[in-house]
A and B are shown apart, each in its own frame.
Chain A
Amino acid sequence: MTQLIVSDVTLAFGGLNALANVDITIEPGIITSIIGPNGAGKTSVLNCISGFYHPNQGTIHYGKRNLTHASPHQVSNIGIARAFQNLELFSGLSVLDNLLLARHQNLKYSIFHALIYVGKASRMEAENRSYVEKVIDFMELEPYRKSMVGNLSYGVQKRVEVARALTLDPQLLLLDEPMAGMNIEEKEDIVRFILDLKKEWGVTIVLVEHDLGVVMDISDEIYVLDFGVLIGSGKPEDVAADPKVIEAYIGEE
């Protein structure tokens, strides 16, 4: 089990500090949530971790590895996967193809093997498929296996997005607003998936979410950002009682 440490990270776009001296420690095996008003820099934290942005200052370490300047594919290769807020799926492909495609980096056979398709190539494809089926079963996507992603409802697409991240067999999963735009029932499903992931798959989860009810219910640890600055952190009940957090959300009197 590996700890992820974001220390003293500053991310600036021109003169605007999206993140300023942010310190976050993600403990393994628990659910850590990052909350804050719109534009607080929540997604920027995820972008820095997953290698889309590189911080101007500070470091990001995953265990002994330094991820500060790692590229997205390097990050995903060491077991950090991400589900995006805006769906990053191929809407013209089936659910199954989307999930298989997400695992292409695990396929390590040559074009020669692919042409004759015996031995290594077919074995790897079969292993791939069996892993993807495990994810389909877990995310209860059986009825949609062969449906085109673009034709599915938004709630189901969101589930496919999480499933796509899971096909990478991650140890650390970054979920960027997995419940945005969902109805209550769909939210309940996703919450169940997240809890099962933590308990049964032992995945460490970083959750960015606006639904504070859900966040308070399922998080073990919460970090609160406001205008790129960390204004609070701790257990849900401590954060809920923190006057600075309340002020950031509701405003001053």
Chain B
Amino acid sequence: MEERSHLLEHTIPQLLRWRVNETGDKVALREKDFGCWNSYTWNQYYDSVRKTGLGLKKIGFDKDDTIAIISDNIPETLYVAIGGQAVGGLSSAIYQTSLPEEIGDILNYLNVKIVFCNDQEQVDKVAEVREKIPQVEKVIYEDPRGMRSYQSDDWFMFIEDLYTLGEQLHRQNPEMFESLVNEGKPDDVCHFCLTSGTTGLPKGAMLTHRNYINMGLQLTAVDPLEETDEYVSFLPFAWIGEQMNSFGVAMATGIAVNFPESVETSMEDLKEIGPHFMFGAPRIYETIRSQIWLKIDESYLLNRFIYNYFMKIGEEAAGYRMSGKSMPVKLRFLAWLGKQMIFRPLVNQIGFLRLRRAYTGGAALGPELFTFYQAIGVNLKQIYGQTEIVGIAYMHRDGDVRPDTVGKPLPGTECRISEEGEILSRSASVTPGYYNLPEKTEELLQGGWLHSGDAGYIDEDGHLVVIDRISDVMHTKAGDMFSPMFLENRLKFSPYIKEAVIFGNQREYVAALINVDPIVVGKWAEDRGLSFSSFMDLSGLPEVAELIQDGVAEINNNAEKEHFRIRRFVLLYKLLDMDDGELTKTGKIRRKFVREKYGDIYEALYNTEITEKTVEAFYQYQDGQTTTVETTIHFYTMGY
């Protein structure tokens, strides 16, 4: 591969100019508007960035000022962001779904001077909190529709007017823009990326030009891209996952970025473009798979038959492909046949035909999804990283895709596991810190390593395995670390288990409180002629206990570590419920509450002599009446 490390000596605007000199007439951006794809070359891209940048300069946007973007993905988001950076300022992006109050708080925190919105919806939100944000001098909008009531107010400005100012300034002083671009240094902070804080205000990670460009170079050193490749920009620009590609990868490789017509049409527009690589949160891949299932289900019998037959072949072939082993000749032939007969046309239908690699990140993706996509011929891989390291530091390599890991570090990224089991990383893409939060920065970058806050370990093949957020992990009495959520998810993978709560913090072993699935297990029991009248009865059946015991034994057999094994479990007589405060509104377990509420059971789980216990179950009916029932619950010890 050509030597590209010199690109690291550029800022993003400088690199844009470099691209203009190299391949000025090649398409850099494409936007669907009024039903047509309009292309813009690198030359036009640079011209637009210049007139935006100089226009901003003209209205008082200077070095170290900040512009915030609240917009759907359109070329103007990049013009505004890079234009602002070119004149020495910083860009930042806020989610389009943010509420007015939230927007106001962020604008104040980042001390934003100018806001860019794409349409009336966003402008309205900023206008709503106008009193709170005195430092905001102008709100620039792209779509004039519905702005009539704002026209008389010069706090608002149409982007075309900004362009006019920029062009005027350029005519007066043709050297100005170039010299402003030259002033930039690769280590200058160019963008504040907000990290999605679950509590309180998000933190603004400061990212430099070098952070982004290095990320683009590192990623494409592993998975090379051609200049002629296409990318569809449909992720929210405020998310690092989008900036990674439209700042980092696009600048480092010169690929074309395509903007969909609207958020609702992005999947349709993706089909028309047929990108060569894509990146998405797990939900996108789950949605696409469900759509495929649905359509196959509605298809003709012959289609269904072919699909089902070749799906099995494909899954088998995927096993070989993911592990990089070579396939037996017969399987290779059948997999080829399946590809020609069904998977190529199918993948074409979803716009993935030209896709060389698809990446998933942001959250865990079920292992069966990897197999599914690999089976139909989509090279789906996991990536892992934080906003603070420009989104990616670890990635699966082609032919080495393992659903339970997040792959190996990118070249130039060092990885270490701290003594507490935390994943630490170091590379040229690590942020210099959070904006105006020295204490948080100190915590984040202790000892020069980026602290991810995630617990994990490196396995024997050098793959990184992410366990859980470190604040959620538990330790056994012997000090061995485990993630309750990780084990609970394993249990819940069984169709017979509806809900599971794992205990074991500072105890001798891991134990589980399990809810059987009333529907699946109910049917299972009926099929076997077992009688029961309520969930309590069902949970108390010894046959059901045996069924669950078999499931737990299998999980124990597959446990990576000795202390991950579940020693004892109990089947609870009632379903954990939101209304009883046992689950949160989003369906997560309130672990501490459950442990306290079922304190007797919890203690009995750690007394191996107890095999059964009589408890008083307390019921509240919907009309408010209560009743108490006496029931016996059994404790099961796993033999291993």
Q: Is B632 at the interface (CB under 8 A from chain A)?
A: no
B265 to A142, Cβ gap below 8 A? Answer: yes
A200 to B145, Cβ gap below 8 A? Answer: yes
A130 to B268, Cβ gap below 8 A? Answer: no
A134 to B34, Cβ gap below 8 A? Answer: yes
B148 to A199, Cβ gap below 8 A? Answer: yes
By a CB distance below 8 angstroms, the chain B residues around A196 are 145-146
B264 to A142, Cβ gap below 8 A? Answer: yes
Q: Which residue of A lies closest to B263 (CB)?
A: A143
A129 and B35 in contact, given A143-B262, A143-B264 (Cβ under 8 angstroms): yes
A143 to B268, Cβ gap below 8 A? Answer: yes
Q: Is B31 at the interface (CB under 8 A from chain A)?
A: no
A133 to B262, Cβ gap below 8 A? Answer: no
Within B259-273, which residues are at the interface with A (CB < 8 Å)?
Answer: 261-262, 264-265, 268
How far apart sit A218 and B262, CA to CA, in the bound complex (Å)? 28
By a CB distance below 8 angstroms, the chain A residues around B146 are 192, 196, 200
**B494 to nearest A CB, angstroms?**
39
**A220 to nearest B CB, angstroms?**
16
Q: Which residue of A lies closest to B144 (CB)?
A: A200
How far apart sit A134 and B264, CA to CA, in the bound complex (Å)? 18
Contact with A along B551-566 (1 / 0, CB 8 A): 0000000000000000
Q: Is A67 at the interface (CB under 8 A from chain B)?
A: no
Q: Within the complex, which residue of A136, A140, A192, A199 is in contact with B35, where a contact is CB–CB below 8 Å? A: A136
By a CB distance below 8 angstroms, the chain A residues around B36 are 133
How far apart sit A133 and B264, CA to CA, in the bound complex (Å)? 16
Q: Which residue of A lies closest to B264 (CB)?
A: A143
Contact with B along A36-76 (1 / 0, CB 8 A): 00000000000000000000000000000000000000000
Q: Which residue of A lies closest to B261 (CB)?
A: A142
Q: Is A244 at the interface (CB under 8 A from chain B)?
A: no
Most buried by A among B35, B145, B265, B268: B35
Interface residue tally of chain A, by bracket?
10 to 19
Q: Is A210 at the interface (CB under 8 A from chain B)?
A: no
By a CB distance below 8 angstroms, the chain A residues around B262 are 140, 142-143
By a CB distance below 8 angstroms, the chain A residues around B145 are 196, 200
Q: Is A137 at the interface (CB under 8 A from chain B)?
A: yes
Most buried by B among A143, A192, A196, A200: A143
Contact with A along B240-282 (1 / 0, CB 8 A): 0000000000000000000001101100100000000000000
Within A113-134, which residues are at the interface with B (CB < 8 Å)?
Answer: 129-130, 133-134
By a CB distance below 8 angstroms, the chain A residues around B34 are 130, 133-134, 136-137
Q: Is A145 at the interface (CB under 8 A from chain B)?
A: yes
How far apart sit A146 and B272, CA to CA, in the bound complex (Å)? 13
**B148 to nearest A CB, angstroms?**
6
**B549 to nearest A CB, angstroms?**
49
Within B162-205, which residues are at the interface with A (CB < 8 Å)?
Answer: none
Q: Which residue of B lies closest to A145 (CB)?
A: B35
By a CB distance below 8 angstroms, the chain B residues around A145 are 35
By a CB distance below 8 angstroms, the chain A residues around B264 are 142-143
**A240 to nearest B CB, angstroms?**
25
Q: Which residue of A lies closest to B268 (CB)?
A: A143
**A127 to nearest B CB, angstroms?**
13
Contact with A along B34-67 (1 / 0, CB 8 A): 1110000000000000000000000000000000
By a CB distance below 8 angstroms, the chain B residues around A143 are 262, 264-265, 268
Q: Which residue of A lies closest to B146 (CB)?
A: A196
By a CB distance below 8 angstroms, the chain A residues around B35 are 129, 133, 136, 142, 145
Q: Which residue of A lies closest to B147 (CB)?
A: A200
Contact with A along B121-155 (1 / 0, CB 8 A): 00000000000000000000000011010000000
Q: Which residue of B lies closest to A129 (CB)?
A: B35
By a CB distance below 8 angstroms, the chain B residues around A140 are 262
How far apart sit A196 and B149, CA to CA, in the bound complex (Å)? 12
How far apart sit A136 and B261, CA to CA, in the bound complex (Å)? 12
By a CB distance below 8 angstroms, the chain A residues around B265 are 142-143
**B355 to nearest A CB, angstroms?**
22
How far apart sit A146 and B261, CA to CA, in the bound complex (Å)? 14
**A178 to nearest B CB, angstroms?**
19
How far apart sit A44 and B264, CA to CA, in the bound complex (Å)? 39
By a CB distance below 8 angstroms, the chain B residues around A142 are 35, 261-262, 264-265
How far apart sit A137 and B148, CA to CA, in the bound complex (Å)? 18
How far apart sit A145 and B497, CA to CA, in the bound complex (Å)? 44
How far apart sit A1 and B145, CA to CA, in the bound complex (Å)? 23
How far apart sit A81 and B97, CA to CA, in the bound complex (Å)? 37
**A130 to nearest B CB, angstroms?**
7
By a CB distance below 8 angstroms, the chain B residues around A199 are 148
How far apart sit A140 and B261, CA to CA, in the bound complex (Å)? 11
How far apart sit A122 and B148, CA to CA, in the bound complex (Å)? 36
Q: Which residue of B lies closest to A199 (CB)?
A: B148
**A32 to nearest B CB, angstroms?**
21
How far apart sit A145 and B272, CA to CA, in the bound complex (Å)? 14
How far apart sit A134 and B145, CA to CA, in the bound complex (Å)? 13
Within A172-207, which residues are at the interface with B (CB < 8 Å)?
Answer: 192, 196, 199-200
**A11 to nearest B CB, angstroms?**
39
**B379 to nearest A CB, angstroms?**
29
By a CB distance below 8 angstroms, the chain B residues around A129 are 35
**B523 to nearest A CB, angstroms?**
35
**B428 to nearest A CB, angstroms?**
41
Q: Which residue of A lies closest to B262 (CB)?
A: A142
By a CB distance below 8 angstroms, the chain B residues around A136 are 34-35
Q: Which residue of B lies closest to A136 (CB)?
A: B35
**B76 to nearest A CB, angstroms?**
16
How far apart sit A134 and B36, CA to CA, in the bound complex (Å)? 12
**A8 to nearest B CB, angstroms?**
38
By a CB distance below 8 angstroms, the chain B residues around A137 are 34
Q: Which residue of A lies closest to B143 (CB)?
A: A137
**A136 to nearest B CB, angstroms?**
7
How far apart sit A199 and B261, CA to CA, in the bound complex (Å)? 25
Q: Which residue of B lies closest to A146 (CB)?
A: B268
How far apart sit A133 and B35, CA to CA, in the bound complex (Å)? 6
**A232 to nearest B CB, angstroms?**
31
**A69 to nearest B CB, angstroms?**
39
By a CB distance below 8 angstroms, the chain A residues around B148 are 199-200
How far apart sit A130 and B34, CA to CA, in the bound complex (Å)? 7
Q: Which residue of B lies closest to A137 (CB)?
A: B34
How far apart sit A136 and B32, CA to CA, in the bound complex (Å)? 13
By a CB distance below 8 angstroms, the chain B residues around A146 are 268
Within A195-245, which residues are at the interface with B (CB < 8 Å)?
Answer: 196, 199-200
How far apart sit A42 and B148, CA to CA, in the bound complex (Å)? 32
How far apart sit A140 and B265, CA to CA, in the bound complex (Å)? 11
**B33 to nearest A CB, angstroms?**
8
**A84 to nearest B CB, angstroms?**
25
**A122 to nearest B CB, angstroms?**
15
By a CB distance below 8 angstroms, the chain B residues around A133 are 34-36
Q: Which residue of A lies closest to B266 (CB)?
A: A143
How far apart sit A129 and B36, CA to CA, in the bound complex (Å)? 11
By a CB distance below 8 angstroms, the chain B residues around A130 are 34
Most buried by A among B34, B145, B146: B34
The chain A residues found within 8 Å of chain B, CB to CB, are: 129-130, 133-134, 136-137, 140, 142-143, 145-146, 192, 196, 199-200
5 closest Cβ contacts across the A-B interface? A133-B34, A143-B264, A133-B35, A142-B261, A143-B265
5 inter-chain pairs at a CB distance below 8 angstroms, sorted by A residue, are: A129-B35, A143-B268, A196-B146, A199-B148, A200-B145
The chain B residues found within 8 Å of chain A, CB to CB, are: 34-36, 145-146, 148, 261-262, 264-265, 268
- Known A137-B34, A199-B148; 6 more pairs at CB < 8 Å: A140-B262, A142-B35, A143-B264, A143-B265, A200-B145, A200-B146
